[in-house]
Amino acid sequence: MSVTATGVTDAVPVSVSGRSFREGFSMFRNAKSITGLSILAVFTLLAIFGPLIAPYDPDAIDLLHRNEAPTWGHLLGTTHMGQDILSQIIIGTRGVMIVGFLSGIFATIIAVLVGVTAGYVAGAKSEALSALTNVFLVVPGLPLIIIVASQFEDPSVVLIAAVLAITGWAWGARVLRAQTMSLRNRDFIQAARVNGEPLYRIIAVEMLPNLLAVIASSFVGTVTAAILAQTTLAFVGVTPISNWNWGTILFWAQSNNAFPDKWWWYLPAGLCIALVGVALALVNFGIDEYVNPRLRSAGMRARALRKRGFKPSDGATAVADTRN
């Protein structure tokens, strides 16, 4: 409602879907999420424009500059064959990000389909989907990935992402099932059911907006696990060592005894993996702060105190002495 100059109150239409959209993505507006998303944006740009900004061909051999420490000509040094490590890291970013995000998308889709359906329906269908989730929860992921990937001479990034998604969707589905079971008896769900709304619309329109934070958290966790698994596969030599990614760089460093003296060969790749993990963790912390009312209220209180010039960690607030 809005009050005009003449005192007449006008009705202001509010878009429920637009408001839900804005409220759903407000989980990314805190400092943790913004910092994490900014770091991920940098790596995404490297993945997209890497071939254009890489100073050298990552496969180019320069025997005159072998095993060199960082210099102005090679900012991150060179390998035993004179290959530029900075170019390898930039080019390898694309494979890591593609596999991580594709795996996250595939696994999240499966988790939503299985978890939300299992939480909403009842009876044998729910129990069957729950049993399927439990089976995939106990399947050893990494050994299965190694077995499947080793069957192909040159597995594509899509295949690797699909295998990682198949072994990584169950935890998200389990959480979504529990959250959906708590939602299905709410008044607005019961009202939609009484009005004769079809099942797909109840799930897509009524439930999924309320599960958006949980879905986002599941996606972030799956991306983190996929990136770690993909670099691990490359490091142990399961995936082709000719396809550049950060795990491949660590594989060649370990194969040529770069540890610990030639730090410029393995340390940058390890820091990139750690930095992406930190960025995803910050995004996840931001989502947790949005989902948990206690954390959200604590964060709002801390921000309010900082705006007033106080430290949130202070046990007590000093009071000015006005007796004089």
Greater pLDDT, 144 or 11: 144
pLDDT at position 249: 93
pLDDT at position 300: 62
Q: How far apart are CA 32 and CA 282, in angstroms?
A: 5
Q: How far is CA 124 from CA 119, 135, 151, 219, 272, in A?
A: 12, 16, 36, 28, 46
Greater pLDDT, 52 or 3: 52
Condensed to tens digits (0 to 9), the pLDDT of residues 151-166 reads 777 778 888 888 889 8
Condensed to tens digits (0 to 9), the pLDDT of residues 272-293 reads 999 999 999 998 888 877 776 6
pLDDT at position 208: 86
Q: Where are the alpha helices (H) located in the chain, listed in sequence order?
A: 16-24, 31-53, 85-120, 124-138, 141-149, 157-166, 170-183, 187-194, 199-201, 212-235, 246-255, 263-291, 293-307
Q: How far apart are CA 133 and CA 287, in angstroms?
A: 24
Give 211's DSSP letter.
Answer: G
CB 119 within 8 A of CB 126: yes
Q: For the chain, what is the mean pLDDT?
A: 82
In percent, the amount of the chain with pLDDT more than 70 equals: 81
Taking residue 268's Cβ as centre, other Cβ atoms within 10 Å add up to 20
Question: Domain segments of the chain: what residues?
Answer: 96-233+279-295
Residue 36, CA atoms < 13 Å, CB-side half-sphere: 22
DSSP SS3 for 29: coil
pLDDT at position 7: 40
Condensed to tens digits (0 to 9), the pLDDT of residues 37-69 reads 999 999 999 999 998 999 999 988 888 888 889
186 pLDDT higher than 50: yes
The token duo for 321 is 């002495």
- Determine if the peptide bond prior to 260 is cis (ω within 30°): yes
Q: How far apart are CA 261 and CA 265, in angstroms?
A: 9
Q: How far apart are CA 282 and CA 288, in angstroms?
A: 10
CB 69 within 8 A of CB 79: no
CB 1 within 8 A of CB 11: yes
Which residues have a Cβ under 8 Å from the Cβ of 8 and sit 6 or more positions away?
Answer: none
- Residues paired with 9 in a beta bridge: 3
Q: Amino acid identity of 7?
A: G
Q: Where are the alpha helices (H) located in 121-186, listed in sequence order?
A: 124-138, 141-149, 157-166, 170-183
Q: How far apart are CA 89 and CA 275, in angstroms?
A: 13
Least Cα distance to 118 among 71, 183, 45 occurs for: 183
- The answer for 123, left when phi > 0, alpha when psi is -120 to 50, beta otherwise, is left
> 172: burial class by Cβ within 10 Å (0-12, 13-18, 19+)?
buried
pLDDT at position 323: 54
pTM of the model: 0.79
Which residues have a Cβ under 8 Å from the Cβ of 129 and sit 6 or more positions away?
Answer: 114, 117, 118, 121, 177
Confidence of residue 236 (pLDDT cuts 50, 70, 90): confident
> Angle at which helices 170-183 and 212-235 pack, to 10 degrees?
170
